[in-house]
Amino acid sequence: MTWRGSTTVSDRIFASLVYLLPLLDVVGFVGRILVVTDSFLSPLVNLVATPLVPLLSIYTGFIPLIVFFALFLLVVRNENIAHFIRFNTMQAILFGIVLSLVSIIWQYALAPVFGMGLLTQTLFNAVFLGTIAAVGYSIVQTALGRYAEIPTISDAVYMQVR
């Protein structure tokens, strides 16, 4: 759906690069727990995490917050940047927000109750696979020059990106 104009190769590359952020978030939060608990997804986590190791070492502390504000204020709100890039940037930011909410809910509400049992592994497997699927789909669609339409999330993105 490229109704906002055509996309150039550079637009596609920049729009795809922002999806590294949700990958960093999911590997940093869920990936560590899946590897520690020896989940059946540990090989996949290692496969995804290995190329991201240099970025994971930098993407700690307040850096994610700084990156969030920089992308939101300098890219999403900048109407001089192509709609395609702004849409994909906002969608990647929303993936990160959802992962942050899951992390907070887990840390303060669910972890004290459930610990690290089977339910925990099932939840983290679902979060990891869902994020990988959504990010993978979004990267492929973006590389093809199409808008990655993901129900509910894309609707929220369209409300933010005019």
- The Cα–Cα gap between 21 and 135 comes to 10
pLDDT digits (tens, 9 = 90+) for 122-155: 889 999 999 999 999 999 999 999 999 999 999 9
pLDDT score, position 118:
84
The whole-model pTM stands at 0.90
Residue 78: phi and psi, rounded to 5, are -95, 105
pLDDT digits (tens, 9 = 90+) for 93-118: 999 999 999 999 999 988 888 888 88
